[in-house]
Structure 1
Amino acid sequence: MKRKSWLVLMALVMAFGTLLAACGSGSSNTGTSGESGDGATAAQDLHINMSAEPPTFDPAQAKDSQTNTALRLMYEGLTRTGTDGNPVPGVAEKWDVSEDGLKYTFHLRDNAQWSNGEPVTAEDFAYAWERVLSPKTTPASEYAYQLYYIKNGQEFNEGKVKDFADVGVKVVDEKTLEVTLANPTSYWLGLTSFYTYYPVNKKNVEANAQWASKADTMITNGAFNLTTWTTGQELAWTKNAKYWDAASVKLNTVTASLVNSGATEFSSYQSGQLDYAGAPTGEIPTDQIPAAKQQYPDQFQAKGIASTYYYLFNLKEKPFNNLKIRQAFSMSINRQAIVDNVTLGGQIPAYGYVPPGIKGNTEEFRTEYKDSYFKEDAAKAKELLAEGMKEEGYTTLPEITLIYNSSEAHQKVALAIADMWKNNLGVSVKTQNQEWSVFLDNRQSGNYQIARAGWTADYNDPMTFLDMWMKGNGNNDAKYDNAEYDALLKDAQASQDNAKRMEDMSKAEKILVQDDMAMMPIYYYTSVSLVKPNLKGIVVDFSGAIDFTRAYFQ
């Protein structure tokens, strides 16, 4: 063969090979990861999907799982969550705790920097926490109560203490922060890794009221910087070279598509466009879970997490101001049938609010205190409905609508439950899906009759599930108000006797779920996901929250 013909043929072979590789990959990490035989190294670029765009990038306003995932990439608190779910040093390299457990002195790292190269200071934390607690902050932070553990934090938030200098947060010097708690709290240190406790760059926030609305105006201190924000389409983060522990961060980029379709997400994973699919950022369609298990037995993961799926009743509006009507709706559904035939992810039927996995006194809280607060009984439910309607003067119930945020999984649960209400109670309930931010606004403002909800632990103690129902709490979307309930939790918050704390919280949960049926528990979550076999280092903690900052391709 002539040399010229040989070169042409080789060029065609190479071009055809390149075309096949491009068509077959869909992701730079699929099929070429790790150290290959010819010495090639995996591209450290992670592709995920988020089923909803984070409603905010301001830690003071954060309140949902999508924002939690995004902010964990971008920020770091005094501590961060380790692989075992316990707090490890973050911006604070060490801390001292007084003998009475009230005073924490944090020593910040000298090399902790903002993404613009400025040092992260104790003042940045104090300023961020003041923003969360300040009654002048607009909109008010719904998570302000997470800082009530700090001395005078609640009083400042409620306007009873006017000067933040009287709150238990003291800037000793640029790298030393002293925090005094209202009561000794064994789990408080873990909260310092939560987004409400993240610092913000004081100069940047004060200079630009819209600082969190564009990628190029955000100054952050975490492992990644948000570099692309195409509304409704894509978010992308790039490794932050200024991060103090940049040497431990292996990924170069994290790119998230914004697609609210579990079917599309699963298909994208199958084609290699995604390296991770499923909870908590997205979802695998329930009807595809059996196929996912079969097709990817080594990549499919289903893990029980400290999270509860439930429905909220609007307690301030008819007809759900009536206890018997709430009881009828809750007792008339079949939870086991829902997890067996609808969700299909190994979920556990819920008859309480605090899920398995949360610490109790010596064992798990759910082991020490069983969730046997009520029983399903369709016949009894129908009697209760009739009694409740008579008390309210109804011959027929008014039109009832159940709202849920747009999701194939939520839709299927809603339709199944509405069908049970129809069959067991003779009540027709309209189901309505709403876009995530609209749904959150409607739920928070009380613009609903029944609304889907889910709660995931912020720290490992029953209090993270129960204090949200206290009067005035920013996350109390049902506007539940029971003085006995509040008193029990205040006692539990102030007590140093852990056994008594657990007893008080158990009594409070009984009031919430059994005596008042203020909410309708449905099931305890599992986290169902697919993870490429060469993707390592992802941390999913006991609550199901995910941290990609130390992930890498092997």
Structure 2
Amino acid sequence: MMVAGCGGQGGTQGASNQIIRFNVGAEPQTLDPAKATGIPDATIINAMFEGLTRYGADNKPGPGIAESWTISPDGKTYTFKLRDAKWSNGDPLTARDFVDGWLRALNPNTQSEYAYQLWYIKGAEEYNKGTGSAKDVAVRAVDDHTLQVVLKAPAPQFLGLTSFETLMPIDSKVVKEHPDWAASPANYIGDGPYKMVSWDHNQVIKCVKNPNYWDAANVKLAKLDFYLVDNNTTGYNMFKTGQIDFQYNVPVQEIPGLKNNPDFKIMPQAATYFYRFNVTKKPFNDPRVRRALALAIDRQAIVRDVARGGQLPAYALIPPGFKDADGKDFRQNGGNYFQEDVAGAKKLLAGAGYPDGRGFPDVSIMYNTNDQHKAIAEAIQAMWKKNLNINVQLHNEEWQTYLNDMQKLNYDIARAGWVPDYLDPMTFADMFVTNGGNNETGWSNKGYDTLITKAKTTDAGNPKARMADMHNAEKLLMDRMPIMPIYFYTQPVLIKPNLKGVIIPPFNVEAEFKWAYVQ
């Protein structure tokens, strides 16, 4: 959605002083496009990089560095024509920069968790897994302004993926000469609308308009500051006192009083809030325990009394907002896969060897530092105590440590959220394949893997069969319950009404600032 408003204060006006100050909510784990996984990271990267395509206000991928493209009749070969573009340091940007960026992400030594987003390309999965070579990956620079990609099978989501950070190009010369380039403002060379000038860790990343961006004439902001404040109340107070102009994560206790405030909006978001179970550890290696915990919480009470932002209770993984093969909503067609059932939960827990909670080991819920995550964890902790007579501890960590521990399976139960990378159910479904880069539960199921593989290959060109594969995969996932869905997101935001042209998409990034300006 394109945010528009009238009147109000915020931002800094004037042709040479157009500035927006946005609280992204956390110190990024990394700003390396090949390695980033978090939404704060992706939002910042998106301002300073551009892929072959870029999403606009219509939530469709439009021309980015590629000014046009053709797709072969069999849906497998994409040929992109690149415009004359430059890196922020003035170096020419060529098709080879995309080849280098994609191969770097696929290189096993890079350890990119999102490398699987490139596995649609012929030879990419084999190279990433160490059973093939880079030369067999079917992406090549035909010339400086032509990039050709051959997929293993038709993939309707591939075009949208070309705007995703993992598929961004790199300036190989800079990356080779400066190993710390992604952490150095001086060496952080991108090809997007803005460029970094300073990074005060845990405080603010300051950017300015990139004069070498191919579409600089249509970039109106002179400056864009990303504040890195992870305390919702602190950010809220900074907004009230005019220190920032835009922030997500509105303190839940403030929401009722903001309902008629022109600075407050609840935006749609096709995303899911859930808990991961570490299935490699007892007692979570038993699906009966996982399912018992999932059945023993009151989601309606959580969204009504804790989250308070119009969220919907989630009884499946994939949220509303994705079209099924028949044009209807994927979630509407799939329906719910479970309901709360305290009696059934007690029976499952007893069957797993913990009658009335007796003998249940000491475990903890890990969440990243955030007032709302804490409040939700406290509510679930109380529900599990009341309904199952088990004691669960709470453990919060700052963003980078939390991501690292989740990636290393150094947790019992972990708070998680998934915002789609592109507008297709596969962005949720392929997350939980065996050893998937973003699986982070230790769960593995051959039947699930087969369904996802079919949807990506055998049935990829048959929309009805492809969607049926994903419905069946989701049903299997909810039966085995390596994750516990809690609610489907909305996005409450505070934004000054005179910020124009800011796009708040329901997927991938928190905000798109290319077309933003201060009225």
Contact 1:49 1:265 (8 Å CA) reproduced: yes
Identify the residue that residue 439 of structure 2 maps to in structure 1.
476
1:452-478 CA distance string (max 9 Å, x none): 000111111111001010012111100
Amino acid at match of 1:212: A
Give the secondary-structure state (helix, strand or coil) at the position aligned to 2:352: helix
Aligned residue type for 1:431 = L
From 239, 250, 259, the equivalent of 1:284 is 250
Q: Is 1:522 equivalent to 2:472 in the alignment?
A: no
Q: CA deviation at 1:299?
A: 2.6
CA contact under 8 A between 2:28 and 2:40: conserved in structure 1?
yes
Please list the CA deviations of residues 107-160 of structure 1 after superposition, one character each: whole Å capped at 9, or x if unmatched. 1112x10011111111110001001111232xx000000000111110111112
The match for 1:378 is 342
What letter is aligned with 2:247?
Answer: A
SS in 2 for 1:123: helix
Residue 137 of structure 2 aligns with an amino acid whose one-letter code is V
1:325–1:389 contact (8 Å) kept in structure 2:
no
The structural deviation recorded for 1:301 is 1.2
Q: TM-score, normalised by structure 1?
A: 0.89
Go from structure 1 to structure 2 and tell me whether the alpha carbon gap of 1:544 and 1:181 turns closer, same or farther (over 3 Å shift): closer
Q: 1:336 aligns with which of 287, 300, 310?
A: 300
Shift of 1:486: 0.7
What does residue range 376-525 of structure 1 map to in structure 2 within 5 Å? Answer: 376-389=340-353, 395-494=358-457, 495=459, 496-513=461-478, 515-525=479-489
Which aligned pairs between 1:41-52 and structure 2 lie closer than 5 A?
43-52=17-26
Task: Let me know the Cα RMSD of the aligned residues.
Answer: 1.6
Q: Deviations over 1:272-311 (max 9, x none)?
A: 2221121xxxx111111112223x1x23211221100000
The one-letter amino acid paired with 2:441 is: A
CA distance in structure 2 between the aligned counterparts of 1:117 and 1:395, rounded to whole angstroms:
66
Equivalent in the alignment of 2:94 = 121
Paired position in structure 2 for 1:8: none
Cα separation, partners in 2 of 1:397 and 1:390, compared to 1, 3 Å: closer
Letter in 1 for 2:142: V
Q: Contact 2:422/2:508 (CA < 8 Å) preserved in 1? A: no
- 1:231 Cα shift? 1.1
Aligned counterpart, 2:57: 83
Report the equivalent of 1:179: 149
Q: Hey, what's the Cα distance between the residues in 2 that align with 1:521 and 1:474?
A: 20
Once the two structures are TM-superposed, the CA of residue 241 in structure 1 deviates from its matched residue by 0.4
- Write the distance in 1 (CA, Å) between the matches of 2:281 and 2:274: 19
Q: Secondary structure at the match of 1:215?
A: coil
Q: Distance between the aligned counterparts of 2:296 and 2:207, measured in 1?
A: 46
Q: How does 1:267-346 map to 2 (within 5 A)?
A: 267-278=237-248, 283-294=249-260, 296=261, 298-346=262-310
Please say if residues 10 and 498 of structure 2, whose CA atoms lie closer than 8 Å, have aligned partners that are also in contact: no
CA distance, structure 2, for counterparts of residue 205 and residue 544 of structure 1: 25
Question: How far has the Cα of 1:390 moved from its partner?
Answer: 5.4
Shift of 1:42: 8.5
Which residue is 2:323 aligned to?
Answer: 359
Structure 1 residues 378 and 390: alpha-carbon distance in aligned structure 2, compared to 1, 3 A threshold: closer
Structure having the higher Rg: 1
Please give the alpha-carbon distance, in whole angstroms, between the structure 2 residues aligned to 1:481 and 1:502: 21
In 1: Cα distance, 2:364 partner to 2:515 partner: 43
CA drift at 1:43: 3.5
Q: How many equivalent pairs are there?
A: 508
What residue is the counterpart of 1:242 in the other structure?
212
Counterparts of 2:305 and 2:52, CA distance in 1: 44
- For 2:198, give the aligned amino acid: T
Instruction: Report SS of the residue matched to 1:204.
Output: helix
Following the alignment from structure 1 to structure 2, what is the Cα–Cα distance between the partners of residues 289 and 544? 24
SS in 2 for 1:547: coil
CA contact (8 A) 1:102 1:184 kept: yes
Q: Secondary structure of the equivalent of 2:490?
A: strand
TM-fit CA distance, 1:542: 2.7
Partner of 2:48: 74
Per-residue CA distance 1:458-513 (angstroms, 9 max, x = gap): 11111100101001211110021000111011111112110111111101000001
Q: Give 2:5's aligned residue.
A: none
CA distance in 2 between partners of 1:461 and 1:57 (Å): 25
Q: 1:368 aligns with which of 333, 346, 355?
A: 333
Match among 93, 107, 110 for residue 81 of structure 2: 107
Distance in 1 (CA, whole Å) between partners of 2:268 and 2:390 is 33
Matched, 1:192 2:167: no
Higher RCO by CA contacts (8 Å cutoff, separation 6 or greater): 2
What TM-score comes out, normalization by structure 2 length? Answer: 0.95
Which AA in structure 1 matches 2:120?
Y
Following superposition, which runs of at least 4 residues in structure 1 exceed 2 angstroms of deviation?
A: 29-34, 40-43
Cα deviation for residue 541 of structure 1 reads 1.7
Which AA in structure 1 matches 2:101? A
Partner of 1:151: 122
Match of 1:58 among 32, 43, 56: 32
Secondary structure at 1:424 match in 2: helix
* 2:76 and 2:153 in contact (8 A); partners too: yes
Per-residue CA deviation, residues 352-372 of structure 1 (Å, 9 max, x unaligned), is 0000011211211112211x2
Match of 2:9 in 1: 30
- Mean Cα displacement is larger for which, 266-275 or 85-94? 266-275
Residue 160 (1) aligns with residue 134 (2): no
Instruction: Tell me the secondary structure at the aligned position of residue 302 of structure 1.
Output: strand
Provide the rounded CA distance (Å) in 2 between the counterparts of 1:360 and 1:106. Answer: 28
Q: In structure 2, what is the Cα distance between the partners aligned to 1:384 and 1:33?
A: 58
Q: Which residue of 2 aligns with 1:141?
A: 112
The AA in structure 2 aligned to 1:328 is: A
Q: 1:196 to 1:543 in 2, by over 3 A?
A: same
* Distance (whole Å) between structure 1 residues aligned to residue 11 and residue 132 of structure 2: 60
* C-alpha distance in 2 between matches for 1:264 and 1:151: 48
Partner of 2:3: none
**Distance in 1, Cα, partners of 2:303 & 2:34:** 35
2:314 matched to 1:350? yes
Q: Residues of 1 paired with 2:257 and 2:306: CA distance? A: 15
Segments of 5+ residues of structure 1 without an aligned counterpart are 1-28, 35-39
Give the equivalent residue in structure 2 for 1:549. Answer: 514
Counterpart of 1:547, as a letter, is E
Whichever residue aligns with residue 410 of structure 1, its letter is H
Instruction: Map 1:12-23 onto structure 2 (within 5 A).
Output: none
